A and B are shown apart, each in its own frame.
Chain A
Amino acid sequence: MIAEFGLAALWFAAALAALQLIAGSLALTSRGAGFAGIVRPVAVVQGLLALTSFAALITLFMRTDLSVKLVAMNSHSAKPLIYKFAGTWGNHEGSMLLWVAVMGLAGGFVALVERRLREETLLATLAGQAFVSLGFYVFLLLASNPFERLPQPVAEGQGLNPLLQDLGLAFHPPTLYLGYVGLSIAFSFAIGALVTREVGPAFARAMRPWVLGAWIFLTLGITAGSFWAYYELGWGGWWFWDPVENASLMPWLAATALLHSCSVLASRNALRAWTVMLGVVAFSMSMVGTFLVRSGILTSVHAFAVDPRRGSFILALLAIYIGGALTLFALRASTVTEGERFSPTSREAGLVFNNVMLSAILGIVLIGTLYPLVTEAFGEKVSVGPPYFNPMAALFVIPMLLVMTAGPLLRWRRDSLRRIAPALAIPALIVGAALLALTVYAPLKLLPLLGMALAAGLAVASFLPLRGRNLRRTPLPVFGMVVAHFGIAVALFGVACDSMFSVERLLAARVGETTQVGPWTIRLAAVEPVAGPNWTALEAQLRAQYKDNAPILAAPQSRTFWAPPQTTSESALVTRWNGQLYTVLGEAADDGRWQLRLWWKPFVPMIWYGGVLIALGGVLALIGRVWADLKRIIARDKIAYRRARQGR
């Protein structure tokens, strides 16, 4: 019953999306003005129906209803409750349903609260949003129905991939999806503004919170994903330029550029066409990412959906949305002027420079990710990995970081470098000193070396915009910028330290044997069997002693899941302020020795602290913006109220 109910809700939601699209489009014509009134309510109900449908699927998973194909394929009655819940979106159909549910809710929310734009622009936006949603509804209903029943209920489900039975991963995909959906709303705003030719500060202000929100979720999603890869895959790497990682990075790069150009448009009424273009690109990258991950075109550590039919469907959607948006852009390009001018040394110029750099990095990642697919289509397999991406991206990242230190100090419109030079002397000195110290004391590796020096300079420079300000009167978004830029410096520092100072130790140890890795002394005290709800494991008891401190217990496991049968190695981490000890238990050798992999990774957690700081900066900015909007609305209502009273 619940499955049929969920499916019905999904069909109704799709029908309402169609209605929203038709009514919204008609309302823009001179004769269809009568339809304007129903668009907002329809958008809200559509969102609620999509949510209902998703709630139905969650219920099926929580109850492990094995007559439903999706549950039987991906769940198991003995799975811990939290993973039954999270397993709802740990598969293709469920994750697409989550996507449409969030997209519907976001559209409904826009319909409820957005009052800053001209009504026609909002109607066009909602029509655009319905158009995007409709494609996904059709995709779900025709090509990936999550509620399909089995002719015969099975006795037991097949279980969830053990790698995915992990809290980090349970919440990693929905976080990314929230980001993608936020970008789809930004895309709809761009379409709406193009249709009614209202590309200006009001449009930028309406779009900005969505871009910010999307960007926060993408940042958190990427951070969580990279941490998951780090501790769950058991090889101590945190980023491998894997196509699926790139798929999440590309929308983030575009969103970062969009965020900054959106600010320029909102406060300076410049960069109009560029901002609209980025709005289209950012959502396109989300779709490309979805296509890469969901189509199974890649064979990578993350790809757990393999079905070419779906891939072509997503590709068709991608072509329709992006092709349509670009056509609209081309038609309207002549009417969208670039807006206000500015001098080459101004805050706008700095932002434009970094926008171009971000776009270039995006280009590199896109080409490097897609190129192997292209050659494979012609029968030649090549691999593109870190040795390509690292230097190529650095080509653009380094100038970007340099401009990032100076940009926030510049004034809008026109400024001179001489004015900010004294302030910049401090970070410049720090970069110089850091470079000097590092070339003397460290083994010479060019990129990490540059990264570390730039991180040190940027860390200081990121706080310079606060200099000479009254901190209590400083707007929250300025703090947001400071925190986010500082977060970039922190993450960069972690990255550079990891590639410069990590120490690895591989050994086959007998119980009782002691070894050294970096400053740690590690003794294999015992290897014991342990059992969990749906796995059994061998657990190594490692007594890890940092220099002369008291020993700490680290217990890496080699886990064997029985539904589905698979072995995973669960690393054990010991975190100190200055780094992390990473331990993995490998296989047993014939002579009673155990394979151990140990790493000492100085300052590696900085990568994720940095990621969290970047997201926190976004949150501060978002709160500041929304708060300012609220105050403006309240003030306007007060004035309207007074006028009404005086008029009476």
Chain B
Amino acid sequence: MRRLLVIVLLIFAAPLGAQDLLPPAPYANRQLDNPALEAKAQALMETLRCLKCQSQSIADSDAPMAGDMRSQVRQRIAAGQDPEAIRGWLVERYGDYVTYAPRMSALTWPLFAAPLGLLALAAVLLRRRFKRVGSA
């Protein structure tokens, strides 16, 4: 009976304990040995948002979830995956919110139209200004 109780308790306790007691993912705080790959991973991590904190990239975050994401990124980079493919995979899982590099879409096109608009506006302003002078 007692043994059964212990087993039942263990079954219920295991998922609880797993949250904190599991060691962090292998590459959460460990760099890849190949500096070129690590630089590639670092560049990608700096543009991914930590979903558990406020306005930090996963490269800068102490949150356990960011550590897991770092580990994922490093392992996938080490396995030879393309950074943009990894970004795509993360966006698929967590939505557009996870990437600091907004992707062109029906939702975000104004972000990319804005600089063009500003360029055009600046050109018009400057042209008008100088044309008026020229004719004066």
Q: A residues within 8 A CB of B54?
A: 299-301, 303
Smallest distance from the beta carbon of B30 to chain A beta carbons, Å? 6
A235 lies within 8 A of B98 (CB):
no
- Provide a sorted-by-A list of 13 A–B residue pairs whose CB atoms are within 8 angstroms: A235-B56, A342-B133, A344-B133, A356-B126, A364-B118, A383-B49, A383-B100, A384-B111, A385-B47, A385-B101, A386-B47, A386-B100, A387-B47
B53 nearest in chain A by CB position:
A301
- Indicate whether B59 reaches chain A with its CB closer than 8 angstroms: yes
**Which B40-63 residues have a C-beta within 8 angstroms of A?**
42, 46-47, 49, 53-57, 59-62
* Chain A residues whose CB sits within 8 angstroms of the CB of B126 once the complex forms: 352-353, 356
Give chain A residues whose Cβ lies under 8 Å from the Cβ of B125: 356
> A357 and B101 in contact (CB under 8 A), knowing A363-B114, A364-B114, A371-B110?
no
Residue A367, interface by CB 8 Å? yes
Q: Taking the complex as formed, is B130 at the interface, i.e. its CB lies under 8 A from any CB of chain A?
A: yes
* Bitwise interface map of A from 284 to 300 toward B, beta carbon under 8 Å scored 1, else 0: 00000000000000111
- Asked if B134 contacts A344 (CB within 8 A), the reply is yes
Q: Are A341 and B133 in touch, CB under 8 angstroms?
A: yes
**Chain A residues with CB below 8 A from B59, complex form:** 235
Q: Which residues from A are CB-within-8-Å of B119?
A: 360, 395
B100, A388: Cβ atoms closer than 8 Å: yes
B114 touches A506 (CB 8 A): no
Residue-wise, chain A 341-353 has the 8 Å CB interface mask toward B (1 for contact) of 1111000010011
Does B55 lie within 8 Å of A375, measured CB to CB?
Answer: no
Looking at chain A's contact residues, the main secondary structure is mixed
In contact, B29 and A344 (Cβ under 8 angstroms): no
Q: Which residues of A contact B111 (CB under 8 A)?
A: 367-368, 371, 384, 388
**Do B133 and A367 touch (CB < 8 A)?**
no
Report chain B residues within 8 Å CB of A303.
54
Q: Which residue of B has the minimal Cβ distance to A346?
A: B133
Is B129 an interface residue when CB atoms closer than 8 A count as contact?
yes
Complex Cα distance A367/B96, Å?
A: 18
B95→A381 contact, CB < 8 A: yes
Query: Whose C-beta in chain B lies nearest to the C-beta of A597?
Result: B29
Chain B residues whose CB sits within 8 angstroms of the CB of A240 once the complex forms: 55-57, 60
Determine whether A504 belongs to the interface, using a CB cutoff of 8 Å to chain B. Answer: yes
Q: With a 10 A CB-CB cut-off, give which of B31, B42, B54 has the most chain A CB atoms.
A: B54
Which B84-131 residues sit within 8 Å CB-CB of chain A?
A: 95-102, 107-108, 110-111, 114-115, 118-119, 121-122, 125-126, 129-130
- Smallest CB separation, B118 vs chain A (Å): 4
Q: Please determine whether B130 and A357 come into contact, CB atoms closer than 8 angstroms.
A: no
Q: A235-B60, A301-B56, A349-B130 known; A380 and B107 CB under 8 Å?
A: yes
Closest to A375 in B: B107
Q: Cβ of B47 and Cβ of A395 under 8 Å apart? A: no
Supposing A344-B133, A349-B130 touch, asked if A382 and B97 sit within 8 A by C-beta, the answer is yes
Contacts of B47 in A (CB 8 A): 385-387
A383 engages B114 (CB within 8 Å): no
A590 interface contact, C-beta 8 A: yes
Q: Complex Cα distance A235/B50, Å?
A: 13
Q: Does A392 have its Cβ within 8 Å of any Cβ on chain B?
A: yes
A385 touches B96 (CB 8 A): no
Would A383 and B99 count as touching, CB distance under 8 A? yes
State the Cβ distance, B75 to closest chain A Cβ, in Å. Answer: 15
Size bracket, chain A contacts:
35 or more
**Quick check: is B136 within 8 A (CB to CB) of the other chain?**
yes
* Contact in complex: A385, B108 (CB < 8 Å): no
- The answer for the CA separation of A244 and B62 in the assembled complex, in Å, is 21
The answer to whether the Cβ of A237 comes within 8 Å of any Cβ in the partner chain is: yes
Which residues in A have their C-beta under 8 angstroms from that of B129?
352
A117 to B95, CA, bound (A): 57
**Which B residue's beta carbon lies closest to that of A395?**
B115
Q: Chain A residues with Cβ under 8 A from B102's Cβ? A: 382-384, 388
Contacting residues, chain A, for B101 (C-beta < 8 A): 385, 387-388
Q: Which of B29, B46, B121 contacts A595 (CB 8 A)?
A: B29
> Given the complex of chains A and B, what is the CA–CA distance between A380 and B132 in angstroms?
45
Chain A nearest Cβ from B26, distance in angstroms? 12
B102 to chain A, nearest CB (A): 5
What chain A residues lie within 8 Å of B134 (beta carbons)? 344
Shortest Cβ distance from residue B123 to the other chain A in the assembled complex, whole angstroms: 9
Is B23 in the interface zone, CB < 8 Å from A? yes
Contact of B55 among A299, A356, A371, A392 (CB under 8 A): A299
Of B23, B114, B115, B134, most A-chain CB atoms within 10 Å: B115
Residue in B30, B55, B110 whose CB lies within 8 Å of A243: B55
- Expressed in whole angstroms, the minimum distance between the Cβ of A308 and any Cβ of chain B is 17
Contact (Cβ within 8 A) A382 B108: yes
A586 at the interface (CB under 8 A from B): yes
Q: Counting CB contacts under 8 A, is A508 at the interface? A: yes
Q: For A359, list chain B residues within 8 Å (CB).
A: 122
Report chain B residues within 8 Å CB of A353: 126
Q: Are B122 and A356 in contact (CB under 8 A)?
A: yes
Return the contact of B96 from the options A237, A357, A383 (Cβ within 8 A).
A383
CB–CB A506/B122 < 8 A? no
A415 contacts partner chain B, Cβ-Cβ < 8 Å: no
- Bound CA span A504–B38, Å: 10
Residues of B within 8 A of A244 (CB): 55
Question: Which chain B residue has the least Cβ–Cβ distance from A443?
Answer: B39
Q: Which residue of B lies closest to A349 (CB)?
A: B130
Q: Is the CB of B97 within 8 A of A506?
A: no
